[in-house]
Amino acid sequence: MDLPSKILQEAVEQLATLPGVGKRSALRYALHLMKEDEQKVRDMSEAILHLKTELHHCRYCHNVSDTEVCPICSSEKRQKGIVCVVENVQDVMAIENTQQYRGLYHVLGGVISPIDGIGVHDLEIASLLRRIETGDPAPVEEVVLALPTTMEGDTTNFYLNRQLQPLGVRVTTLARGVAVGDSLEYTDEITLGRSILHRIPFEG
């Protein structure tokens, strides 16, 4: 896409690197930003920069947080003996929106996928096992496997179950109200909430 301005071209190219944003959408966003008040654009730029420089991952669960330990892990109102293992931060948000789960989380940062070059050591699996072995920040009694119902998700579930069995914790999984192949992020809140409430023992 040839544009009459090098500055506009650079802005479009940067915006087009965002997921789901093509060159046409990027151009529309860039032209919109040109019309905005300068301070508003500066505020937006600062907010985006803060995402990179000031946003943390919780030292325990790897959820995003403004502090070293996220509000969920530090809350005294949570059931700290239950840890729900999810693929990503969006899944934490999806489960929290159901208001049916009061335990803690552990964000793996993906699922095992050899075809994509993602192996065990690319995920936060070692920190999960260490968390259970040490009881830090709290002793764990149950691990809920809430990964996608895909081949990669099931592969990760089987691997985790094998690693968790010797540690003496109860391993459960979501009830199959979540359709096979679905991501938690796109599952409606009622279905996801019921799946959490009626979780079942994981059968490897």
- pLDDT tens-digit series, residues 189-203: 656 666 677 676 776
Same domain, 135 and 148: yes
Number of folded domains that form the chain: 2
CATH number for position 127: 3.40.1360.10
CA distance 174 to 84: 10
Exposed, middle or buried, 153 (CB in 10 Å: 0-12/13-18/19+)? buried
Same domain, 136 and 85: yes
Pair of tokens at residue 192: 């996801």
Q: Which region among 2-11, 66-75, 135-144 has the lowest average model confidence (pLDDT)?
A: 2-11
Residue 176: predicted pLDDT: 61
Q: Which region among 17-21, 170-174, 184-188 has the lowest average model confidence (pLDDT)?
A: 184-188
- pTM, whole model, 2 decimals? 0.78
Q: Is residue 191 part of a domain?
A: yes
Same domain, 65 and 159: yes
Count of beta carbons in the 10 Å neighbourhood of residue 116: 11
Same domain, 163 and 62: yes
Q: Which region among 13-27, 40-54, 86-100, 173-187 has the lowest average model confidence (pLDDT)?
A: 173-187
CA distance 192 to 178: 7
Q: Are 169 and 140 in contact, with CB atoms under 8 Å apart?
A: yes
Q: Is residue 193 part of a domain?
A: yes
Residue 174: predicted pLDDT: 81
> For all residues of the chain together, what is the average pLDDT?
90
Same domain, 159 and 136: yes
Calculate mean pLDDT across residues 100-121. 96
CATH number for position 16: 1.10.8.420
Same domain, 144 and 67: yes
Domain span holding position 14: 6-53
Q: Is residue 169 part of a domain?
A: yes
Calculate mean pLDDT across residues 4-32. 94
Element holding 96 (H helix, E strand): helix 89-98
Residue 70: pLDDT over 80: yes
Q: Is residue 1 part of a domain?
A: no
